[in-house]
Structure 1
Amino acid sequence: MTRKSPPLRILVADDSPSIRQILLALLGRQGHQVIAAEDGQQALDLFHRHQPDLLLLDIMMPVLDGMEVARRIRAEKLDRWVPIIFLSALDRRENLVAGLEAGGDDFLAKPLDFALLDARIRSMHKALDLQRQARESYRQLKAISDNVLDAIVTIDVHGRILSCNQATERILGWRPEELRGQNVNVLMPEPYHSRHNDYMRAYVEGGPPNVFGYGRERPALRKDGTVFPAELAVTEIRDGSQRIFIGLLRDVTERKNAEMKLMENAAALQQYYDHAEEENQLAARLLDKQMLRPGLQDSHVRYWLSAAKNFSGDVVAATRTPDGSLVALLADATGHGLTAAISTLPLLTVFYGMANRGLPLESMVGEMNRHLKASLPTGHFVAANVVLLDPATGTGQAWCGGMPESLLLDGDGEVVRTFASRHLPFGILGTDEFEASIDTFPCTPGHQLMLYSDGFKEAEGKNGAQLGHAGLREILRGVPPEQRLTALQQALAEHLAGSPAQDDISVLLLDC
Structure 2
Amino acid sequence: MSMVRNMADNVEKLPNLAPRVIVVVSIICLALLLGQMIRDRAEQKELIGFEMIALFYQQLDFSQDINNAIMALSMNESDVAVDAAQSLLRTSMSQLRWTQDSLLILSKERIDENGADLVKDVTFSQEIDQIILYANEVLAEAEGNKVPVPPPYSTQYFHKETLYYISQLTSQLHAENRQKKSTDWWITIITGVLVFIVGLGFYRQGKKLVHRQFNELKNLKSELELESKRTKEHEQQIILESERSQAQKMKISAILNSTVDAIITITADGTVDSFNKAAEKMFGYSADTMIGENIRELMPEPYSSEHDSYLEHYHKTGEKKVIGRIREVLGLRRDGSEFPLNLSVSKVEGSKPMLFTGIVRDITKRKKAEAELEKALIELTQKQTELEEEERIARHVFENITASNNENIPEVSLWCEPMGTFSGDMMLSAVLPSGGIRIILCDFTGHGLPAALGAVPVSTIHSAMAKKGLPLEVLMNELNNKLNELLPTGIFCCIAGIDLDVTRTHAQIWNAGLPEVLVVSQAGDITQRIVSNHLPLGVIAYKDDELSCCDIQLNEGDFIYALSDGLTEAENDAGEMFGQQRLELLLMNKTNEDGRLVEIKNRVEIFVGKAMPTDDISLIEIKTLSTTDDIILQ
SS at match of 2:348: strand
Whichever residue aligns with residue 318 of structure 2, its letter is: G
Equivalent in 281, 291, 294 of residue 183 of structure 1: 294
Q: After superposition, where does 1:105-124 map in structure 2 within 5 Å?
A: none
**Quick one: structure 1 residues 319 and 193, their matched pair in 2 at CA, closer, same or farther if it must change by over 3 Å?**
same
- Residue number in structure 1 paired with 2:494: 384
Q: After superposition, where does 1:165-204 map in structure 2 within 5 Å?
A: 165-204=276-315
- CA distance in 2: counterparts of 1:147 and 1:321, whole angstroms: 86
- Residue number in structure 1 paired with 2:512: 399
- Residue number in structure 2 paired with 1:488: 597
Alpha-carbon distance, 1:445 to partner: 1.0
- CA distance in 2: counterparts of 1:270 and 1:160, whole angstroms: 50
Task: Show CA shifts across 1:315-354 (max 9, x none).
Answer: 2124689998956223256444x56534533554566678
SS at match of 1:374: coil
Equivalent in 618, 629, 632 of residue 506 of structure 1: 618
More deviation, 453-462/310-319: 453-462
**Quick one: structure 1 residues 480 and 445, their matched pair in 2 at CA, closer, same or farther if it must change by over 3 Å?**
farther
Alpha-carbon distance, 1:458 to partner: 7.9
SS at match of 2:512: strand
- CA distance in 2: counterparts of 1:146 and 1:353, whole angstroms: 83
Whichever residue aligns with residue 374 of structure 1, its letter is: P
Equivalent in 533, 551, 554 of residue 445 of structure 1: 554
Equivalent in 248, 251, 262 of residue 362 of structure 2: 251
SS at match of 2:349: strand
- CA distance in 2: counterparts of 1:388 and 1:419, whole angstroms: 11
1:476 matches 2:587: yes
Whichever residue aligns with residue 343 of structure 2, its letter is: L
Whichever residue aligns with residue 489 of structure 1, its letter is: V
Q: Is the 8 A contact 1:326 1:390 kept in 2?
A: yes
Whichever residue aligns with residue 331 of structure 1, its letter is: D
Equivalent in 234, 238, 261 of residue 345 of structure 2: 234
1:374 matches 2:483: no
**Quick one: structure 1 residues 294 and 206, their matched pair in 2 at CA, closer, same or farther if it must change by over 3 Å?**
closer
Task: Show CA shifts across 1:257-302 (max 9, x none).
Answer: 3334444444444444444454444333422342235565567644
Whichever residue aligns with residue 315 of structure 1, its letter is: M
After superposition, the CA RMSD in angstroms is 5.2
Q: Is the 8 A contact 1:189 1:219 kept in 2?
A: yes
Task: Show CA shifts across 1:165-223 (max 9, x none).
Answer: 33334433334443332222222222221121222344356612222235422222222
- CA distance in 1: counterparts of 2:535 and 2:369, whole angstroms: 40
Task: Show CA shifts across 1:329-383 (max 9, x none).
Answer: 23256444x56534533554566678887556885685476456428xx8xx566
Which structure is higher in strand share? 1
Structure with bigger gyration radius: 2
Q: Is the 8 A contact 1:234 1:245 kept in 2?
A: yes
**Quick one: structure 1 residues 466 and 492, their matched pair in 2 at CA, closer, same or farther if it must change by over 3 Å?**
farther
Task: Show CA shifts across 1:13-53 (max 9, x none).
Answer: xxxxxxxxxxxxxxxxxxxxxxxxxxxxxxxxxxxxxxxxx
**Quick one: structure 1 residues 329 and 226, their matched pair in 2 at CA, closer, same or farther if it must change by over 3 Å?**
same
- CA distance in 1: counterparts of 2:457 and 2:308, whole angstroms: 74
Whichever residue aligns with residue 561 of structure 2, its letter is: M
1:331 matches 2:331: no
Q: Is the 8 A contact 1:413 1:478 kept in 2?
A: yes
Alpha-carbon distance, 1:227 to partner: 2.4
SS at match of 1:506: strand
Q: After superposition, where does 1:44-443 map in structure 2 within 5 Å?
A: 148-204=259-315, 207-292=318-403, 296-297=407-408, 301-305=412-416, 311-318=422-429, 326=438, 328-331=440-443, 334-336=446-448, 340-342=451-453, 344-349=455-460, 359=473, 363=477, 367=481, 370-371=484-485, 373-374=487-488, 381=491, 384-387=494-497, 396-400=509-513, 406-416=517-527, 443=552
Q: Is the 8 A contact 1:331 1:384 kept in 2?
A: yes
Whichever residue aligns with residue 329 of structure 1, its letter is: L
- CA distance in 2: counterparts of 1:481 and 1:399, whole angstroms: 30
Alpha-carbon distance, 1:451 to partner: 2.5
Structure with bigger RCO (C-alpha 8 Å, 6+ apart): 1
- CA distance in 2: counterparts of 1:507 and 1:449, whole angstroms: 10
Q: Is the 8 A contact 1:408 1:416 kept in 2?
A: yes
SS at match of 2:270: coil
- CA distance in 1: counterparts of 2:339 and 2:310, whole angstroms: 22
- CA distance in 2: counterparts of 1:422 and 1:207, whole angstroms: 85
- CA distance in 2: counterparts of 1:315 and 1:385, whole angstroms: 9
Gaps of 5+ in 1: 1-144
Q: Is the 8 A contact 1:234 1:247 kept in 2?
A: yes
**Quick one: structure 1 residues 156 and 311, their matched pair in 2 at CA, closer, same or farther if it must change by over 3 Å?**
same
Q: Is the 8 A contact 1:413 1:481 kept in 2?
A: no
- CA distance in 2: counterparts of 1:489 and 1:158, whole angstroms: 80
- CA distance in 2: counterparts of 1:422 and 1:188, whole angstroms: 79
Alpha-carbon distance, 1:314 to partner: 3.2
- CA distance in 1: counterparts of 2:371 and 2:292, whole angstroms: 37
**Quick one: structure 1 residues 303 and 492, their matched pair in 2 at CA, closer, same or farther if it must change by over 3 Å?**
closer
- CA distance in 1: counterparts of 2:343 and 2:455, whole angstroms: 56
Alpha-carbon distance, 1:501 to partner: 11
Whichever residue aligns with residue 276 of structure 2, its letter is: N
Q: Is the 8 A contact 2:442 2:495 kept in 1?
A: yes
Which structure is higher in helix share? 2
**Quick one: structure 1 residues 479 and 275, their matched pair in 2 at CA, closer, same or farther if it must change by over 3 Å?**
farther
Task: Show CA shifts across 1:430-455 (max 9, x none).
Answer: 769xxxx9998663413543223467
| TM-score, normalising length: structure 2 | 0.44
Aligned residues between the structures: 353
- Residue number in structure 2 paired with 1:35: none
Whichever residue aligns with residue 400 of structure 1, its letter is: G
| TM-score, normalising length: structure 1 | 0.52
- CA distance in 2: counterparts of 1:153 and 1:177, whole angstroms: 13
SS at match of 1:292: helix
**Quick one: structure 1 residues 397 and 496, their matched pair in 2 at CA, closer, same or farther if it must change by over 3 Å?**
closer
SS at match of 2:620: strand
SS at match of 2:440: strand
Q: Is the 8 A contact 1:171 1:251 kept in 2?
A: yes
Q: Is the 8 A contact 2:512 2:536 kept in 1?
A: no
More deviation, 339-348/166-175: 339-348
Q: Is the 8 A contact 1:302 1:510 kept in 2?
A: yes
Q: Is the 8 A contact 1:400 1:419 kept in 2?
A: no
